[in-house]
Amino acid sequence: MGRKEKEHRAWCIANGIEPVEEKKSNKRKERDEAHEQRAAEVECEARRREAAQSWGGAGGDAAEGRGDEGHGDGPQQQAEAWGGGGGGGGSNEQVEDPARAAAAAAADYGVAPSRAPPRPTEAGHDLPTLTIALPGSIVENTQSFELATALAGQIARAAAVFRVDEIVVFEEETMSGSSKWRSTIGGGASAGGGGDGPTVFLARVLQYLEMPQYLRKALIPMHRDLRLAGLLPPTDMPHHPRRHEWSVYREGVTVGDGASSRGEGTPVDVGLDAPVSIAQELPKGMRVTVRMGPEPRVSGGDRGGRGYGGGYNYSGTHGKWDVKGIKAAVAPTEPRAVEGAYNGYTVRCASGLSGVFSGCPWEGGYDLCLGTSEHGVPLSSDAVKPDHKHLMVVLGGLYGLEASAKSDPQLQGVDVATLFDAYINTCPEQGSRTIRTEEALLITLSAMQPFMPAYA
């Protein structure tokens, strides 16, 4: 497996996505099959020896359990990694395997998983949240890869404007399956197109646009899906400060392993001229939120006027921030809890519409789930209870949520309206036969603003 394939596989594992292998040549396929067969024979022989040494039943069970744990891509683990639950009856070790695999992938390849929600003792753990869920199949309705990338940019911009905390992209089988995406829009693997399918493509571009520009090179591996993402309009969220702008909180990436030899803490690149140090000892390549503190003085030039921000004078001479001292890595929700500042969204993938509800990262799950459809009831204050904590709004694809439910094997025969606390229509008496998902997202979030709790 080459370096790019390893980085791609690590990104998929770190974000809970099942890696999709590209087509191999016949010679390579034969070589890989022979290698797998030899590895299986060696493993089988090792199990036989271990079982013989620990004769008595218990030893055999333990050996068999260790052998299963080594296969991180089993069906059960794949289902759990997608957030779909994967059924009951698994042991605690089986449930924790995907998390260990994600951590190992991030450590080995410098890929940062989505930021974890705050613990109950951290600032911002009790703030209300907003989640949107939509199918990845919406990009199949575009006519080119350029338009598919632009569509992902529209969704990211809408999420930033309305301060969305989480975006869930779920699988949906369409009439064309994934063949249209892989053969035409994505361009296919041989043409450098999106061989992973529309769901992974959309999630990857959304994650790219949420990331501050100065972190992308360190945290996001190069991939063909992102070849046009740099041309999209920036989301310009508060945690995307310019180099000359001081911010009390900045996103950063650790550039060293643990504390330095001089005892200055772990170095973190936060987009300034020099890294800052944090007290915590963290591995290299990890994304962190750093509390920078109040605005310091500037060295190496005139500060200049306020319109240019600290560090620049009217002639454009660049000064450097005096950022000496140990900073602190904090929960990603602290900027909102303390400053009332939006700090971006996380991206999660689900195996289907049913998987949207089972993978909530916040304690207690979603306490208010709204489905949107032209067959729903008009939006009113009765549909949105004012004391909700974690709100999720689910939008359908080209054929609506009804088609999303029909394509989900776990929802066969289920009335889709019964899955939600309210099934609403945010644009009654529409003038067009259809409303595109990216349009419905803007309409729905705009209509819901009067019913939303205070942000901070």
Between 172-181, 278-287, 365-374, 399-408, the lowest mean confidence (pLDDT) is in: 172-181
pLDDT of residue 361: 84
Q: What are phi and psi of 123, to 5 degrees?
A: -65, 135
pLDDT at 181 over 90: no
Q: Which amino acid is at 58?
A: A
pLDDT of residue 318: 43
| CA–CA distance, 53 with 248 (Å, rounded to integer) | 60
- Please name the CATH architecture into which domain 242-294+325-331 falls: Beta Barrel (2.40)
Between 180-184, 367-371, 401-405, 411-415, the lowest mean confidence (pLDDT) is in: 180-184
pLDDT confidence of 362, banded at 50, 70, 90? confident
pLDDT confidence of 456, banded at 50, 70, 90? low
Cβ–Cβ under 8 Å, residues 166 and 345 = yes
pLDDT confidence of 303, banded at 50, 70, 90? very low
pLDDT at 172 over 70: yes
Better-scored residue on pLDDT, 118 or 400: 400
pLDDT of residue 149: 95
pLDDT confidence of 93, banded at 50, 70, 90? very low
Cβ–Cβ under 8 Å, residues 452 and 393 = no
The share of the chain scoring above pLDDT 70, in percent, equals 62
pLDDT confidence of 65, banded at 50, 70, 90? very low
Nearest CA among 88, 18, 96, 6 for reference residue 350? 18
pLDDT confidence of 309, banded at 50, 70, 90? very low
| CA–CA distance, 82 with 100 (Å, rounded to integer) | 15
Better-scored residue on pLDDT, 338 or 107: 338
Cβ–Cβ under 8 Å, residues 295 and 344 = no
pLDDT of residue 265: 79
| CA–CA distance, 320 with 303 (Å, rounded to integer) | 9
Using the 8-state DSSP alphabet, how is residue 194 labeled? Answer: -
pLDDT of residue 293: 82
Domain ranges in the chain? 98-116+125-237+344-451, 242-294+325-331
Between 112-116, 134-138, 277-281, 344-348, the lowest mean confidence (pLDDT) is in: 112-116
Stated as kind and residue range, the H or E segment containing 329 is strand 326-330
Residues 222-251: what's their mean pLDDT? 90
106-139 pLDDT, tens digit each: 344 333 456 666 666 677 677 889 999 999 999 9
| CA–CA distance, 42 with 366 (Å, rounded to integer) | 47
pLDDT of residue 62: 36
414-433 pLDDT, tens digit each: 899 999 999 999 998 888 88
Per-position DSSP letters for 231-274, written without gaps between them: GSPP---TTS--TT---SEEEEEE-SSSS-TTS--EEEE-SSSS
| CA–CA distance, 82 with 352 (Å, rounded to integer) | 9
Task: Tell me how far apart the terminal alpha carbons of the chain are, to the nearest angstrom.
Answer: 47
Query: Collapsing DSSP states into helix, strand and coil, what is residue 63?
Result: helix
Question: Can you read off the two tokens belonging to residue 347?
Answer: 């991206």
Tell me the pLDDT of the chain averaged across its residues.
74
Q: How is domain 98-116+125-237+344-451 classified at the CATH fold level?
A: Alpha/beta knot (3.40.1280)
pLDDT of residue 27: 58
pTM of the full predicted structure?
0.71
Cβ–Cβ under 8 Å, residues 231 and 255 = no
pLDDT at 240 over 90: yes
pLDDT of residue 452: 82
| CA–CA distance, 367 with 71 (Å, rounded to integer) | 36
Question: Can you read off the two tokens belonging to residue 265?
Answer: 């803490």
pLDDT of residue 29: 63
Task: Show contacts of 429-436: CB within 8 Å, 24+ apart.
Answer: 430/374, 434/398, 435/374, 436/138, 436/141
Alpha helices in 54-144 (DSSP H): 58-69, 75-81, 92-109
